[in-house]
Amino acid sequence: MGRRVLRSAILLVFCASALAFKEHEFKKCAQTSFCSRNRNVQQGANFEIVPASIVLNTATLTATLINQPASKHLQLTVASHADGFVRVQVDESPSVGRYQVPTDVLISGWENKKQPFTETGRTSSKLTLATGEDTKVELTFQPFTLAIMVKGQPALLVNSRNLFNFEHRRTKQDNDPAGYWEETWQGHTDSKPKGPEAMSLDLVFPGFQHVYGIPERATALSLKATNGAAPYGEPYRLYNLDVFEYLDDHPFGLYGSIPVMLAHKKGLTVGVFWLNAAEMFVDVVKSRSEVGTQWIAESGIVDLFVFTGGSAPGVLASYAKVAGTTALPQLFSLGYHQCRWNYKDEADVKAVDGGFDSHEIPYDVLWLDIEHTNGKRYLTWDSSLFPSPVAMQEDLASRGRQMVTIVDPHVKRDHSYYIFAEAEQQGHYVKNKNNNDFDGWCWPGSSSYLDVTSPVVREWWAAQFTVDKYKGSTKHLYIWNDMNEPSVFNGPEITMPKDNLHFGGVEHRDNHNLYGVYYHMGTAEGLKLRGSQLDPENGDRPFVLSRAFFSGTQRVGPIWTGDNAAQWSHLKVSVPMLLTLGLTGLPNSGADVGGFFGNPDAELMTRWYQLGIYYPFFRGHAHLETQRREPWLFGPDHTARIRAAIRGRYALMPYIYTLFRFANTTGMPILRPLWFEFPEAEDLFAVEEEFMVGPGMLVKPITAPGVSSTDVILPAGARWYDAATGAAVTAKNRHRVQVTMDAIPVYYRGGHIVPRRERPRRSTAAQASDPYTLVVALDDKSEASGSLYVDDGHSFAFQRGLYLHRSFSFSNLKLTSSVHVEPGVPDGTLTVPTTIERVVFLGLPPSRRGYKALIGGKRSEPLEAGPLSMVAAPGSEHALVLRKPDLPVSHDWVIEIVTA
User: Shortest distance, CB of residue 822 to ligand NAG, whole angstroms?
Assistant: 10
10 Å Cβ neighbour count for 184?
A: 11
10 Å Cβ neighbour count for 214?
A: 28
Give the three-state DSSP class for 474.
Answer: coil
Task: Give the DSSP H or E segment for 447.
Answer: strand 445-449
User: Shortest distance, CB of residue 561 to ligand NAG, whole angstroms?
Assistant: 22
User: Shortest distance, CB of residue 473 to ligand NAG, whole angstroms?
Assistant: 21
Q: Which is nearer to ligand NAG, 130 or 534 (CB)?
A: 534
Q: Which is nearer to ligand NAG, 132 or 552 (CB)?
A: 552
Give the three-state DSSP class for 887.
Answer: strand
How far apart (Å, rounded) are the C-alpha atoms in residues 827 and 831?
A: 12
563, 690, 791, 837: the catalytic one is 563
User: Shortest distance, CB of residue 327 to ligand NAG, whole angstroms?
Assistant: 4
User: Shortest distance, CB of residue 697 to ligand NAG, whole angstroms?
Assistant: 23
Q: Which is nearer to ligand NAG, 90 or 327 (CB)?
A: 327
Q: Which is nearer to ligand NAG, 305 or 443 (CB)?
A: 305
CA distances from 486 to 1, 119, 465, 512, 784 (A): 13, 47, 21, 8, 48
Relative to beta strand 153-158, strand 145-150 is antiparallel
- 896 is annotated as an active-site residue: no
DSSP annotation of 332: G
CB distance 674 to 690 below 8 Å:
yes
92, 248, 279, 485: the catalytic one is 485
- 104 is annotated as an active-site residue: no
386-392-394 Cα angle (round to 5)? 150
User: Shortest distance, CB of residue 523 to ligand NAG, whole angstroms?
Assistant: 15
**Which residues have CB under 8 Å from 18's CB, separation 6+?**
none
The separation between CA 595 and the C-alpha centre of its own chain, rounded to angstroms, equals 19
How far apart (Å, rounded) are the C-alpha atoms in residues 200 and 208?
A: 21
Q: Which residues bind ligand NAG (CB under 6 A)?
A: 324-325, 327-328, 541, 664-665
How far apart (Å, rounded) are the C-alpha atoms in residues 416 and 421?
A: 7
CA distances from 334 to 186, 603, 646, 695, 764 (A): 43, 24, 12, 19, 8
In the chain, the amino acid numbered 563 is D
User: Shortest distance, CB of residue 328 to ligand NAG, whole angstroms?
Assistant: 4
242, 303, 364, 482: the catalytic one is 482
For residues 533-562, b (16+ Cβ closer than 10 Å) or e, as one string? eeeeebbbbbbbbbbbbbbbbbbbbbbbbb
Q: Which of 779, 781, 777, 853 is nearest to 814 (CA)?
A: 853
User: Shortest distance, CB of residue 664 to ligand NAG, whole angstroms?
Assistant: 4
The separation between CA 869 and the C-alpha centre of its own chain, rounded to angstroms, equals 30
Q: Which is nearer to ligand NAG, 663 or 863 (CB)?
A: 663
Q: Which is nearer to ligand NAG, 669 or 745 (CB)?
A: 669
Q: Which is nearer to ligand NAG, 393 or 664 (CB)?
A: 664
DSSP assignment string, 735-798: EEEE--TT---EEEETTEEEEE--S--SSTGGGTT--EEEEEE--TTS-EEEEEEE--SSSSGG
Q: Which is nearer to ligand NAG, 20 or 797 (CB)?
A: 797
Q: Which is nearer to ligand NAG, 800 or 814 (CB)?
A: 800
- 690 is annotated as an active-site residue: no
Q: Burial, 464: exposed, middle or buried (Cβ in 10 Å; 0-12, 13-18, 19+)?
A: buried
User: Shortest distance, CB of residue 537 to ligand NAG, whole angstroms?
Assistant: 16
Point out the residues that are catalytic. 482, 485, 563
